[in-house]
Structure 1
Amino acid sequence: MRAALALVVLGGFFVLAVVLFAGLGGLAFTLFQRDDVEGGLVLSALALVLGGPPLVAMAIAAWTSPKPSGIALTRATHPELWRHTDELARIAGTRGPDDIRLVSEPNAGVWERHGTRYLELGLPFVAGMSIGELRSVLAHELGHYGGGHTRVSAFTFRAKVALGLGAGRFDATGVLYAWARLYALVAASESRKHEQFADEVSVAAAGREATTRSLLRTGPLGEAWNDYLRWYVSLAVLAGRTPPLLEGFRAYLDHPRRVHQLREIEPLLAAQEPSSVFDSHPPIRERVATIARLFPALGVAEAVDERSAWALLDGTPPEAVAALVDVQGPPITWEQLAGLTGPLLVRRQADGLRHAGRVSKIGDTLGAVLTALEHGRLHDLTGRPVDGSLTSEAVHDAAVDAVTELLGCMVADQLVTANRATLELNWGGLFVLRMPDGAAVHPEDLVAPAVRDANRVPEVRFRLQALGVDTL
């Protein structure tokens, strides 16, 4: 019933466009025939302002179709992935996908067009999950096929494009925005039911433990992927060179410090995930709780395939992965890349903190920033959060992390620029500073105590002076 209501609301958007344009245009024509030129012009303007935008959005959407993107993972190049997919499809009692694609987003999704079923798998999931966890992701998406959730995906795709364009780019009155919110509210309820159904299929096909673990892993893997893109892939973009990107992400995930970090933030991300009646997916914590309630543990540990799903990416061309993340250029090793563009990236990040210091009137030197931290002015450097739903604790933690990263870059920038240290790649924290005597210094670890505790600023300042850092 709710699915039908959501389609009615979508259809109502098109009806609204026609009624507004044709109705007002017809009235304007009538007034022109009666020689009421002024009234006709007013209604013509209203027809254009109110009815024109949705019609333009509809015209654009009519020529827009969902298209497969990413890297095609064919049966010939990735037989093991297809074996798992086919097996899970049989268990789920549905026809599997005809086309599997590797995409860069930390997500997974399915859709249909003209009877062809497409499955998109996020590279971070395949690279970062175990085979057991990835099987649960596959089973969840197959559940959407089995539940018939993708049958009208082509229509809803075009309708959402039209509604989004109308409510965003072409909406001068706010009416279309209100309509879009109404659709989101109606559709979200049905979508949440779809997600629960797909979760139940996932448990039935892949197991309760694997499903729970994969749900909790999605948030941390998304954070890890974004961090990898920001700090490591950006080196390749700056240099116009191509390092082994898949191997780099694997090295990032396998570093003991990253393993610990991802485990640590797993429950935090689940607990802090915001919830809204407009959300198409329930929060992860609610989905995990629902699974625990519907499928209570039997007291026997479930067998989960702990092998890394990373092996399922064997056969993926390196140049295709590079294109996926917009990296191009001749090959280079990660170690060579760090020396080539590391100083430039560190300078850019340090300049970001210097800019924040100038804007906040704190000052743009390392000494001024340390003094501000000593006086408890951490949040003056980061400003107010964009997301108003965050708790004060989450805001503080985000500020600590951001300033620690940037302050570490400021220290590295000064030492490298003064030829007192060189940069070496570090998968656990971007760079290691190699001092002339061979000692390794981790800049983030060095400055973190000052950011977290104002009382430790003098200690950090002393250690920086011992390394030869000026302007303190």
Structure 2
Amino acid sequence: MVATFRALASVVMLAGFYVVALVQLGGAVALAIWLSTVLTGVIALKIVFPLFVATVGAVSVALWKAIRAKPAPPEGLPVGPDQAPELWRTVHELAGVVGTRVPDEIRLLPEVNAAVTEDAKLLGLISGRRILYIGLPLLQAMSVDQIRSVLAHELGHYSGQHTRLGAVAYRGRLALGGTISRIGPSNPVGWVFKGYARLYLLVDNAASRRQELEADRSSVQVAGRVAAASALRELPVLDAAWDFYFQRYVHPGWEAGFVPDDLFGGFYALVAARKAELDELRGAEPDGNGSRWDTHPPIPERISVIATAPDVPRPADNRPAYVLLPDIASLGRRLQDRMVDVGDRKVLPWPQFTHAMVAAGAQRQTDAVFRALGRFTGAPEPGLPVLFDVIHAGRLGEFAEQFFSNATRREAAHKFAEPMETLLQSAAVAAQAAWWQHSWSEPARLVGRDGRPISFGPIAELAVAAQTLPEAVARLTALGIDPTHGRVVQRRATADGARLLAGLANIKIDGVDHDVLMLNRGLVFVGNPGKSDKGTKRLQELVSSAPVAELAGRHQFLPFEEVAGATIRKQVPLKAEIVLHDGRRLALQEAWSSELLEKKSRDTLLEALKSFGES
């Protein structure tokens, strides 16, 4: 019944979209006729023409693209019965229990998720090719009982015929979204379509939530209530672990130009090493907050429904789910080869990857300090020897106060021990006297040639005072580190690893039209952006065309560290002057026709400019 309701709702709502378009077209015609009686024909045409274009043009283009489009399922790594016989045997068994046809194909995904697709024909009247997708991290971290529950849930979508109308729902969303994107924000036609789109999504998402609850009953039918609830509770835990893994262990190295040679094997090792931390997450109640815009009910609601379903007693199987695959390590490497485009990044084993990743991050911080040192002293080759000269001259506080704005010079000199430690660590790595040691259970540690942990904190404390600096140098020498090893590598800041914070279209920089992207490390000025209309769409296309670091490389990039001050002369439209450390000045003037990437973009840029203080 749920599938039938969603099918009927999708078709009716999609048809209603075109009824709305016809009604608006009729309204535009009536408006044109009335205006022709009170205004000249040319003026009436100018008023009504945008409505005709929005209603007929935008709908026609969106409809044509929607008709031709097909949902693009995840690619994944196909695994046949010969490669994973136990997994296929399990899927055959579960399909029989829930009363559905076995999928034609099973594919592994590089994510914490599972899904099913079906290429049905004639509005779902004729079934089509079926593909079952299983996230490899689920097979790495779940138990057999839990993965059986997950698989039964997905197969339940087949038995409930939930996948039959997937293409119809997809095309409906595509037609609505395509129409709205082609209508300007100030056109009243767009307001009507946006309102209808919200209604469409409310109806479709409500049906989707009911389908999820129905599929959960299939998981209980196969695995029992305990396993079904356990699998649902495990999903947010693995989601959190996966995000932590990528943010802490993978992403910084990826941004620095490195890739681990065993991406999925690393996740398995992390889950095993941090079991105690994950057990704490398992002990917390899942988030019960839901929204009518969600496609899935909150997990507590799903668990409550599971608790009311008829239970199926069966012996527990707490073996790790990866026993269903003959060689999960090999499959993980094959999935990585198939799904991860490494580009020109260097592939390294985990110990070398972690060392390279942490060393690159420390060197990036070191370079920022040394570039500031170069601006402060005028030295062409800023490094530890130049910094030690500044300390000998008693000027460290004067130099360090730029890093500690709320501190006195004396306090700044003392606080500089922390960045000094990073400078010394980078020098030790450059001298090959130290190595960043990989660990799955704790942050990487710096170890010496003997493999023992080494701390540069005490040496840094000595180095920030002129009277104890000689002793610090002596200790460095004893460790085989010459101060000349501490030197700048990146002579100008880049946007590598930067995050996008805001975007503004139609901004004049020194009188020339630009679009401006604000990153957490600087501003990207995109010259000759094009016509002033549709600035938001232009910005969206720009930021989706390439990573922000690549965009900064293609266009003019102004690192924040080169900004000495800024004067804001007017907030709306924004008018400001930016002063650089080298004495150059940039005039920034926002046009009245400017558009924002998102509504807080202007405020975000204003706060950044204010943080530099008056020039």
Q: Same fold (TM over 0.5)?
A: yes
Output the CA distance in 2 between the equivalents of 1:419 and 1:46.
68
Deviates more, 1:326-335 or 1:111-120: 326-335
Q: Which residue of 1 aligns with 2:90?
A: 84
Q: Structure 1 residues 123, 436: closer, same or farther in 2, change over 3 A? A: same
What is the 5 A alignment of 1:235-384?
235-236=253-254, 238-255=256-273, 258-268=274-284, 270-295=285-310, 302-309=315-322, 312=325, 314=328, 316=331, 318-328=333-343, 331-346=347-362, 364=403
Output the CA distance in 2 between the equivalents of 1:141 and 1:42.
52
Structure 1 residue 5 and structure 2 residue 13: aligned? no
Tell me which amino acid in the other structure corresponds to 1:153. Answer: G
Tell me which amino acid in the other structure corresponds to 2:264. Answer: L
Structure 1 residue 419 and structure 2 residue 423: aligned? no
Which one of the candidate residues 27, 51, 54 is aligned to 1:46?
51
Structure 1 residue 95 and structure 2 residue 101: aligned? yes
Structure 1 residue 109 and structure 2 residue 115: aligned? yes
Q: CA deviation at 1:199?
A: 0.6
Higher strand proportion, which one? 2
Tell me which amino acid in the other structure corresponds to 2:154. Answer: E
Output the CA distance in 2 between the equivalents of 1:347 and 1:11.
59
Q: CA deviation at 1:35?
A: 7.9
Which one of the candidate residues 442, 449, 455 is aligned to 1:429?
442
Output the CA distance in 2 between the equivalents of 1:277 and 1:225.
27
SS at match of 2:83: coil
SS at match of 2:306: helix
Output the CA distance in 2 between the equivalents of 1:136 and 1:122.
14
Q: CA deviation at 1:88?
A: 0.5
Q: Which residue of 1 aligns with 2:247?
A: 230
Q: CA deviation at 1:232?
A: 2.7
Q: CA deviation at 1:150?
A: 0.8
Where structure 1 has 5 or more consecutive residues not aligned to the other structure, the ranges are 353-361, 369-408, 442-462
Q: Which residue of 2 aligns with 1:67?
A: 72
Q: Which residue of 1 aligns with 2:234?
A: 217
Contact 2:149–2:222 (CA under 8 A) maintained in structure 1: yes
Q: Structure 1 residues 63, 281: closer, same or farther in 2, change over 3 A? A: same
Q: Structure 1 residues 177, 209: closer, same or farther in 2, change over 3 A? A: same
Output the CA distance in 1 between the equivalents of 2:11 and 2:320.
42
Output the CA distance in 2 between the equivalents of 1:293 and 1:110.
26
Q: Structure 1 residues 424, 175: closer, same or farther in 2, change over 3 A? A: farther
Q: CA deviation at 1:98?
A: 1.2
Output the CA distance in 2 between the equivalents of 1:98 and 1:12.
35
Output the CA distance in 1 between the equivalents of 2:405 and 2:361.
18
Where structure 2 has 5 or more consecutive residues not aligned to the other structure, the ranges are 121-127, 369-400, 408-417, 466-615
TM-score, normalised on structure 2?
Answer: 0.57
Tell me which amino acid in the other structure corresponds to 1:73. Answer: V
What is the 5 A alignment of 1:99-248?
99-114=105-120, 115-167=128-180, 170=183, 172=185, 173-234=190-251, 235-236=253-254, 238-248=256-266
Output the CA distance in 2 between the equivalents of 1:410 and 1:121.
45
Q: Structure 1 residues 310, 22: closer, same or farther in 2, change over 3 A? A: farther
Q: CA deviation at 1:164?
A: 3.0
Contact 1:140–1:201 (CA under 8 A) maintained in structure 2: yes
Q: CA deviation at 1:196?
A: 1.2
Q: CA deviation at 1:464?
A: 8.2
Higher helix proportion, which one? 1
Contact 1:367–1:471 (CA under 8 A) maintained in structure 2: no
Q: Structure 1 residues 32, 139: closer, same or farther in 2, change over 3 A? A: same
Q: CA deviation at 1:27?
A: 6.9
Contact 1:144–1:150 (CA under 8 A) maintained in structure 2: yes
Matched positions, count: 398
Encode CA deviations 1:173-232: one digit per residue, 9 max, x unaligned. Answer: 333332222122222322222111111100111222221111111111112222222233
Encode CA deviations 1:279-310: one digit per residue, 9 max, x unaligned. Answer: 22111112112212335798xx9513422326
Output the CA distance in 2 between the equivalents of 1:346 and 1:367.
24
What is the 5 A alignment of 1:440-459?
440=453
Q: CA deviation at 1:144?
A: 0.7
